[in-house]
Amino acid sequence: MFTHKSSRRIFLQGAASLAACAAFQPANAQGRFPSKPITLVVPFAPGGNVDIVARSLSVPLTKLVGQSVVIDNRAGGGGAVGTGTVARAEPDGHTLLVATPGQLGTLPEIIKLPYKADSLTPVAVLSRTPVVVVVRANDARFKTAADFLKAAKAASQSVTVGHAGPGSPNHLALLQFEDSAKAQVNAVPYKGSGPALVDLMGGQIDAVVDQITSSTPHIKSGALRALVVLGPQAGGLLANVPTLAQLGLPSFDATTFVGLFVPRGAPAASVASLQDWATKAVAQPEFSNVIRDLGSEPVGGTGAALQKLVNAEAALAAQMVKQGRLKSD
């Protein structure tokens, strides 16, 4: 037989159990990752190498994380605008940056930024891509790389060359190319390779220093032609394209890497999950086949490997600033 006291005791016990359940469920909900769509911020305009890598990655990544993956292009400042956006984002692992090591290695050396080099945590290396100088296929002035070099040396800034923005890997490659060729071109910065290639095909500029990934569709269509590889010999579409060494010039390796970053302070467990998913996504045909068809290579390196690439970019940028080749604010 229930007494008033026993009824009250059962009621209080039940209330306590409900309270415990209520407290437990949100904790579980907060522990699930990802708990909402993933945003991949690309700090360049659509159509360039980094944008292509991000969009290719989003397909297998969506399946792996069980959430939709959204691409957000935030171009400007050689990648500084988009990188700053991610650096200021909530560090919960849902907003990521797809970028080159230059955004954290080069830019802090040359311009004042709303973020620091350690404002983001490297997650994984995604791809590596040969860098080339491309011209219009029907440009009779530059039938060979030798023609281009001759024109570039003929008079200072007589040849106009576009790149993806100040401090971008393309910009550094162009500066190194000038040093190697002992020539000075009229360099034109863009908000990514996509807009530069549009202007090249439209006749506004003479050439573009670009990752082969974004130039491949235009080379295949017959609109553009690769003149020289700024690095070691490459295969595929570039099998018959000479390197600087083959032209008798001092060589350097401008191979561009693209990686994945999160805001500093993201939970370690979330970062580990993202690295695992990124590594698996890079190996999937939806990513690897697309990237290879465009002349790039999937990598799948760790966050530690990506940090080494950032450090190498920073060292190169610091050296070029000291030499006066890169201007710092």
Helices 268-283 and 285-293 pack at an angle, to 10 degrees, of 60
Lowest mean pLDDT among 29-43, 118-132, 260-274: 29-43
Q: Which ranges constitute the DSSP H helices of 115-245? A: 145-154, 169-181, 193-201, 212-221
Q: Which two tokens stand for residue 6?
A: 């026993």
For the chain, percent of residues with pLDDT exceeding 70: 90
Cα dihedral 95, 99, 105, 106 sign: negative
| The predicted structure's pLDDT at residue 153 | 92
Residues 6+ apart with CB under 8 A from 239: none
- Helical segments of the chain, H only: 4-31, 49-65, 80-87, 102-105, 107-110, 145-154, 169-181, 193-201, 212-221, 268-283, 285-293, 303-322
Q: Which residue has the higher pLDDT, 1 or 255?
A: 255
Q: Read off the pTM.
A: 0.85
C-alpha 290/C-alpha 213 separation (Å) is 10
What is the average per-residue pLDDT within 275-284? Answer: 97
The owner of tokens 């971008």 is 168
**What is the rounded (10 degree) CA torsion for 226, 43, 304, 104?**
100
Q: Which residues are bridge partners to 256 per DSSP?
A: 129
Say if residue 1's pLDDT is above 80: no
Helix (H) or strand (E) holding 233: none
> Is the bond into 26 cis (omega within 30 degrees of 0)?
no
**Three-state DSSP class for residue 328:** coil
pLDDT digits (tens, 9 = 90+) for 51-67: 999 999 999 999 999 99
Q: Is residue 241 within 8 Å of residue 247, measured between CB atoms?
A: no
Tokens encoding 140: 């009779």
Confidence of residue 29 (pLDDT cuts 50, 70, 90): very low
Beta carbons within 8 Å of 141's beta carbon, 6+ residues apart? 147, 151, 206
Residues 6+ apart with CB under 8 A from 153: 181, 182, 183
User: What is the average pLDDT score of the chain?
Assistant: 90
Predicted local distance difference test score (pLDDT) of residue 329? 56
What percent helix, strand, coil does the chain show, rounded to 5?
A: 50, 20, 35
Whether 241 contacts 215, CB under 8 Å: no
pLDDT surpassing 70 at residue 31? no
Give the mean model confidence (pLDDT) for residues 283-306: 95
What does DSSP assign to residue 186?
E
What are the contacts of 222-226 at 24+ separation with CB within 8 A? 222/137, 223/136, 223/137, 224/134, 224/135, 224/136, 224/137, 224/197, 224/200, 225/134, 225/135, 225/136, 225/137, 225/139, 226/132, 226/133, 226/134
pLDDT band at 325 (very low <50, low <70, confident <90, very high): confident
What torsion do the CA atoms of 15, 17, 22, 28 make, to the nearest 10 degrees?
A: 180
pLDDT at 27 over 50: no
Question: Which has more pLDDT, 78 or 150?
Answer: 150
| 226/217 Cα distance (integer angstroms) | 12
* Joined tokens for residue 205: 């500029």
- pLDDT beyond 70 at 281: yes
Give yes or no for a contact between 33 and 273, defined as CB atoms under 8 angstroms apart: yes
Residue 4 has pLDDT above 50, yes or no: no
**How many residues are present in the chain?**
329
